[in-house]
Amino acid sequence: MSMRNHLAELKRKHVALEKEIEASLAHPSAEPLKIAHLKRRKLSLKDEIRRCSSDPQLRSAV
């Protein structure tokens, strides 16, 4: 998988998690632990996107 494809997949997953979080928050019976877990996963993806985007060696591969 090329770095460009990898970044695109990470961004797709990040957007999907955002939608899942929003949907969970819209329900009155939202589980706080589930939402916290989703938010941590989203933050982890964001960190990985940032690392991949800022690494000079990886950027030259894109």
Residue 4's pLDDT is what? Answer: 86
Residue 2 — pLDDT band, cuts 50, 70, 90? confident
pLDDT digits (tens, 9 = 90+) for 48-62: 999 988 876 655 554
Whole-Å CA distances, 44 to 26, 27, 60: 23, 24, 23
User: In 3D, which of 12, 19, 16, 1 has the Cα closest to residue 49?
Assistant: 12
15 vs 35: CA distance, rounded Å:
15
- 1 pLDDT above the threshold of 50: yes
Residue 47 — pLDDT band, cuts 50, 70, 90? very high
pLDDT digits (tens, 9 = 90+) for 18-43: 999 999 999 989 899 999 999 999 99
